[in-house]
Structure 1
Amino acid sequence: MEEYGLSEAGYRFHTGSEEGCFGAFERAVENKEWLVVPLWKPQFLHHKYKIREVIEPKGLLGIVDRAVLLLREDRSKQFTSEQLAKLDSLRFSNEIIAELDYKVCREVQELDAVTREWLEER
């Protein structure tokens, strides 16, 4: 806030929960109000809303995240080589993860069902 002079321009920073942040964003959109929210990708709000990213040239907020699949080495023994090959072939984008996240977080679909449906489509 201080680094960019935002406090002097009248902006305020409110600390809160993730759900509080998401709710504030959705209410602002519904009320057609301006709002600056520190969001990240992948994240479910990007699935429903066209969110303009703020250009942050000083790099204070870090880099753009990307979606990757991780598997703990000790858990890999629970899978067959064919299953591991299938997992290795999966490619995710922030858009895919945002859509899946939206189904779970806002449409309240079961994570396993959403995952199964997505995998069956591939």
Structure 2
Amino acid sequence: MKAPAALLLLSIWLICATPAHAAPEPETLVMGQINLSFYTTSAAVVKEVLQRLGHPVQVVEGNHPDIYGRLGRGEADLLVASWLPNAHGHLQAPIADRLVEAATLYEDARLYWAVPAHVPAEAVASIDDLKKPDVLARMDRRIVGVGPGSGLMKGSERVMQGYGLQQAGYQLDVAPAPEWSKRLADASANGGWMVMPLWQPQYLNALYPLRVLEDPQQVFGVDRAVVVVRKEVWQQLPARSREVLGRVYLGIPLATELERRMMVDGTPAEQVARDWMAANPATVEAWFHE
């Protein structure tokens, strides 16, 4: 048989062998994930849910401004998770009309400043107390936060200004997460006095005795952690995917524990998510019920 005739027969066979009703392969969803560990484990649960619904997922990581920038440019389809209305409000505001709030992963998300519990409460109960002469004599005046451009750092800058802490001799810096957490570990081990910009959910709260400082000026608000999806992507998702994703809820204690398993036990985030879902079938089945 001549080559052209063979090619023609092969083409006809391929056409006939392909079912006319074959569904197209689902497009990969690009999930933006802020590069702090507590986002990583929560995002792993959302990723597992989407994959069980048949959606391939690609994860992109970056700091807060980077991930919101990707979302705005259409380079990411969803974000896990946006803290609204306070911590991430300034980042989401420029693109808010192009996003859908798909699910609330936990409420009572909080940013705050804390001190190790061994710092006496009668000496330091409030951020205002950091300026007292006897506290200044003992306190580490370098206050280190994490996450450039984060709500924690933006809020901490307002705390520094609102309470006049720079004039009192304090300095606010940003450091990589390992250095930031090591400072708390060292102070907890040696009894040092230091200030820890922190939040919940965060696994360090489960490892070290801490006391949250009162914030009379109420610089830090209370948020909810929301999975946000670009509207055009959301509208293209099957109705079942939208329904199931909308039911996913973790809560503060669980989000803290998932991160602890990754950071302290050394379990990869994807395995942490799968292990928890396997151990809690009733909760997961409630998300997926028809």
Matches of 2:212 and 2:223, distance apart in 1: 13
Residue aligning to 1:52: 211
Question: How many residues in Structure 1 have an aligned counterpart in Structure 2?
Answer: 118
Give the counterpart letter for 2:185 in structure 1: E
Gaps of 5+ in 1: none
Matches of 2:210 and 2:204, distance apart in 1: 8
Matches of 1:119 and 1:86, distance apart in 2: 14
Pair 1:13–1:100, CA change in 2 (3 A):
same
Residue aligning to 1:42: 201
User: Do 1:42 and 1:94's aligned partners in 2 also have CA atoms closer than 8 Å?
Assistant: yes
Large movers: runs of 4+ above 6 Å: none
TM-score by length of 1: 0.72
Q: Which has the higher strand share?
A: 2
C-alpha RMSD of matched pairs (Å)? 2.8
SS of aligned partner of 1:55: coil
Gaps of 5+ in 2: 1-159, 284-290
Matches of 1:48 and 1:80, distance apart in 2: 41
User: Do 1:67 and 1:93's aligned partners in 2 also have CA atoms closer than 8 Å?
Assistant: no
Give the counterpart letter for 1:119 in structure 2: M
Residue aligning to 1:106: 264
Residue aligning to 1:117: 275
TM-score by length of 2: 0.35
Any idea what the Cα deviations from partners look like across 1:28-56, whole Å, max 9, x if unmatched? 11223222111122222123234221111
Q: State the identity as a percent.
A: 26
Query: Among 217, 222, 229, which residue is 1:72 paired with?
Result: 229
Structure of larger gyration radius:
2
Pair 1:94–1:44, CA change in 2 (3 A):
same
